[in-house]
């Protein structure tokens, strides 16, 4: 496997892509501290966070697609059903 050394010493695989992001100073400081405390690179932490956010979006889309064939109901019908089920 081929490795590139990122400025600052982080080892990244050749399959990574470089991106520029702009962070608020407080977020940047917290991210660097977390990297030191967890012995991980900033890139690893950011990749994990982005991966998790995209995964949550994918789960939401999958749930939506599963329910897309369900009939739509109006607000008043929803309130009626919630009252009948004892939820309101």
Which is more confidently placed, 58 or 10? 58
- Residues 6 or more apart whose CB falls under 8 angstroms from that of 32 comprise 42
Q: Is 90 exceeded by the pLDDT of residue 83?
A: yes
Longest dimension (CA), the chain: 63
What does the block give as tokens for 82? 């919630």
Judged on CB neighbours under 10 Å (0-12, 13-18, 19+), 46 is: middle
Quickly count helices (H) and strands (E) in the chain. Answer: 3, 2
For the chain, what is the domain count?
1
Residue 76 domain boundaries: 3-84
Q: What is the mean pLDDT of residues 44-58?
A: 91
Q: Average pLDDT over the chain, rounded to whole?
A: 86
Q: What is the mean pLDDT of residues 66-85?
A: 91
Picking from 55, 38, 43, 37, the residue whose alpha carbon sits closest to that of residue 8 is 43
Q: Is 50 exceeded by the pLDDT of residue 2?
A: no
């Amino acid at each position: 496997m081929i490795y590139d050394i990122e400025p600052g010493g982080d080892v990244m695989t050749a399959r990574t892509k470089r991106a520029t992001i702009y962070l608020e100073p407080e977020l940047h400081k917290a991210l660097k501290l977390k990297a030191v405390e967890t012995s991980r690179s900033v890139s690893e932490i950011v990749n994990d966070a982005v991966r998790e956010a995209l995964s949550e979006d994918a789960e939401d889309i999958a749930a939506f697609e599963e329910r897309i064939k369900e009939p739509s109901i109006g607000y008043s019908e929803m309130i009626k059903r919630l009252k009948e089920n004892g939820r309101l």
